[in-house]
Structure 1
Amino acid sequence: MNNSFISLVCFILLFSCKKESETVVKNRLTEEVFVPSTKIDSSDLVGLPKDTGGVHKGYLLNKTEAIYAHMVYTPGGYQEEGQGYPLLIFLHGWGPRQLTNEIGTDLNVVKEHGPPALIEQNQWNPSFPFIVASPQLEGQYWASADIHSFIDYIIGKYNINTKRIYLTGLSLGGGGCWYYVGEKGDESHAAAIIPISARGEASIVSNLTNTPIWAFHGAKDQTVEPINNYGSVMMVDEINRNSPAVIAKVTVFDNAGHDAWTRTYGNQFGETGISYSPFNLNIYDWLLQYKKE
């Protein structure tokens, strides 16, 4: 048996063993990246109309019963009855807060980053449709009770699958994610969270063990330390020491500062210089793996 034939057999065996769950994606950072697909139970998703472009609308403070001024995106083909939609709550950072007598009168600032920005730029294309609700903070921090009240309002106003409510936020908003679940525990609405460039504290760790978490941070962040002072890495380490239901993940971009959110929300796979958990999954698909039971 010659060496060429042996090499050919080895090549075939190697590639025939590639998991069916893997896909190949192309993006602006690399030519090809192998991305393991997520294990989504789509039985309550496949019946939703395909989102070919929806409506992104703002609601000023005191014009609705919501505790916050807010933006809401309803996907194309949105139906008020029938199968409920996944809900993504986006909590902004320090900048878009309103602290004057004109509270809740300028919602354009809410659309500067994250999912609201992607929606405005026509770059919002998750695998399944989401309703996206983006409140505007009027104070110094995201209070857990207020977040909970806002989610209750959205549930009452829109056709929401209450098993599929997810939270994400950046900087101050990432802290809102940590503390909302950390203070509410199993009473929170969150099926999974993605906090970015944010810190928590020791007292909330135990309540975070039943909620799937994927945190992101920049290694060069000088605003919120990624490793010490209960930054993302320390929070995830502490959670994982407490035997969580799902192992918490943290991805650190070695060359990023405080802005770890642009590449995270944009699903910029293949980023070089990553520590801890690899960034090889669509974050919105990752969220959809989990339901609140």
Structure 2
Amino acid sequence: MQPIASRLLFLAAALLLCVATPAADPNAFVDFSVEGLPGRLYVPPEASESRRPVIVFLHGLGETGDDNRRQVNHNIDNLLKSAKQRGAFLYAPQAVTRGWGERARTDQVVAQLESLLGKHNADPSRVYLTGLSMGGGGAWTVASRYPQRFAAAAPICGVPPADDWDPALQLKTPTWAFHARDDGAVPVRCSHERINALLAAAGKPPVEFPSEGGDDFSFSDAALNLHYTEYPTGGHAIWGKAYATPEAIEWLFSQQQATPKAQ
């Protein structure tokens, strides 16, 4: 199957699964939109006293649209909980059509991020990128396209990234990815391929991943600051579990850039 056709198939399957448990109250967010890119922003109270970290969240296919509510009304309850606990901004743009691969769209997301950093008491050295399913592929894509803009990335059950994804550029961003072995919407090999491509770009041997069943599988390369967690079960909707993993959240918020680069 051709790469584009494969990606469309994954997205179609993911649409059926990315409309899970209703979560965050859209009213906890303020409008943070520009023409062509709806968006919502959680502003932590702590920002009145000190510069705060920023989480950029890219939603899945089921939240595509222009209502500027759906992207924060599903799937991110645990992520918002962590943002509140850590006093972090949470920026959630909404793709009006499916996919985070269009360069114009990702440029808009990053431009809005720069606007956020300029208008609010946000810390440019602590900007974290994450996404699930379609947004997981978006997280891979955005981290590669805008190297050294993000202190860390956390793609979850991500579809394949855009064709211009460059593992050598992705390596500039510390990354912790998640997937489930029994994911029926986005095959786990999508994350396997990303991890091994990153290792190949660094001149390192590939990982031998488990096949079926078994226990949780973890891989870490401290030198690359590359981490991967694979659950044996959980299907596609593992984001609640991933966003509630204390070690991953602690790792995410511990990342900080010495000299963040504006894009």
- The normalised TM-score by structure 2 is 0.70
8 Å contact kept, 1:66–1:153: no
8 Å contact kept, 1:68–1:150: no
The residue matched to 1:176 in structure 2 has which SS?
A: helix
1:191 equivalent in structure 2: 151
The residue matched to 2:115 in structure 1 has which SS?
A: helix
Q: 1:132 to 1:66 in 2, by over 3 A?
A: farther
Q: 1:263 to 1:154 in 2, by over 3 A?
A: same
Pairing partner for 2:141 from 175, 179, 186: 179
- Separation (CA, whole Å) in 2 of partners of 1:289 and 1:119: 16
- Separation (CA, whole Å) in 1 of partners of 2:36 and 2:51: 23
- Separation (CA, whole Å) in 2 of partners of 1:210 and 1:72: 26
Cα deviations by residue, 1:14-48 (Å, 9 ceiling, x for unpaired): xxxxxxxxxxxxxxxxxxxxxxxxxxxxxxxxxxx
- Separation (CA, whole Å) in 1 of partners of 2:95 and 2:82: 23
8 Å contact kept, 2:156–2:239: yes
Q: Across the two proteins, how many residue pairs are aligned to each other? A: 207
Q: Shift of the alpha carbon at 1:68?
A: 2.3
- Separation (CA, whole Å) in 1 of partners of 2:167 and 2:75: 28
- Separation (CA, whole Å) in 1 of partners of 2:178 and 2:82: 20
Cα deviations by residue, 1:44-81 (Å, 9 ceiling, x for unpaired): xxxxxxxxxxx8223175xxx475222211223431xx
Residue 90 (structure 2) pairs with residue 132 (structure 1): yes
2:112 equivalent in structure 1: 150
Q: Shift of the alpha carbon at 1:248?
A: 1.3
Gaps of 5+ in 1: 1-54, 268-280
Which protein is bigger by CA-based radius of gyration?
1
Pairing partner for 2:47 from 65, 78, 97: 78
Letter of the structure 2 residue corresponding to residue 194 of structure 1: A
8 Å contact kept, 1:58–1:107: no
Letter of the structure 1 residue corresponding to residue 61 of structure 2: W
1:282 equivalent in structure 2: 247
Pairing partner for 1:258 from 221, 226, 236: 236
Q: 1:126 to 1:248 in 2, by over 3 A?
A: farther
Gaps of 5+ in 2: 1-26, 203-220, 259-263
Cα deviations by residue, 1:156-192 (Å, 9 ceiling, x for unpaired): 2211100000001000111111001112224xx2110
- Separation (CA, whole Å) in 2 of partners of 1:57 and 1:156: 18
2:38 equivalent in structure 1: 69
Cα deviations by residue, 1:72-101 (Å, 9 ceiling, x for unpaired): 11223431xx63110011111001111xxx
2:227 equivalent in structure 1: 249
The residue matched to 1:78 in structure 2 has which SS?
A: helix
8 Å contact kept, 1:127–1:285: no
Aligned pairs for 1:76-115 (under 5 A) are 76-79=45-48, 83-98=50-65, 103=66, 105-114=67-76
- Cα RMSD (Å) of the superposition? 2.5
Q: 1:150 to 1:264 in 2, by over 3 A?
A: same
2:31 equivalent in structure 1: 59
Q: 1:106 to 1:161 in 2, by over 3 A?
A: closer
- The normalised TM-score by structure 1 is 0.64
8 Å contact kept, 1:70–1:134: yes
- Separation (CA, whole Å) in 1 of partners of 2:179 and 2:173: 19
Deviation beyond 6 Å, 4+ runs, structure 1: none
- Comparing both structures, which one devotes a greater share of its residues to helix? 2
